[in-house]
Amino acid sequence: MSKPRIAIDMDEVIADVVPKFLDIYQRLFGVRLQPRDYWGKKVYQIDGADQIRSFLHEKGFFLDLPVMPGSQETIRRLMEDYDVFITTAAMEFRASFEDKYDWLAQHFPFIHWKNIVFCGDKSIIQADYMIDDHAFNLRAFNGKGLLYTAPHNVHETGFTRVDNWQDISAFFEREKR
């Protein structure tokens, strides 16, 4: 009998991209942004900062991102009862493939390569649950969507919100009952 499936996004869910954007912004503009400066949007959506998005195309951008606290332990536990897949929309950023694969191998070596899905449109993902920071991915998803809190989605109200990996762990503990 197969286990229920969980599709887990990478950027801003298990890999923390915000500190890197803040470092780039500071390097370019000489100012360290505070959360209130980018609340409700991506750092590169701040007026005049759209050039920051181009860094996503650079080889190595995704290679040294910090791991979201608690994600490794929680995913390892979830794998006991669920089939876990990392589902990352990497098609837009060609240079990200190898970086993301290597990052996952370093920080999540217990996730088999067959459980890593590089895609463009996540509506093709067939799973029971999806954890993502983008509401548009969850809107196109047929299972239960969990919105992982990120600065850009703080005003979104259409999904079950999880603020951290402790919330995710608690959610799935309730689901098992």
Residue whose C-alpha is closest to residue 176's, from 78, 84, 83: 78
Classify residue 72 as exposed, middle or buried by CB count within 10 Å of its CB (0-12, 13-18, 19+): middle
Which pair of tokens denotes residue 73?
């332990």
- Let me know if 11 is a catalytic residue: yes
Q: Which of 9, 99, 132, 133 is catalytic?
A: 9
The label of the residue with tokens 């649950």 reads 129
Amino acid at 15: A
11, 99, 132, 133: the active-site residue: 11
d(CA 73, CA 168): 11
Q: Is 83 a catalytic residue?
A: no
User: In one letter, which amino acid is 166?
Assistant: Q
Say which residue the tokens 């897949």 belong to: 85
End-to-end distance of the chain based on CA atoms, in angstroms?
A: 19
Active-site residues, by number, are: 9, 11
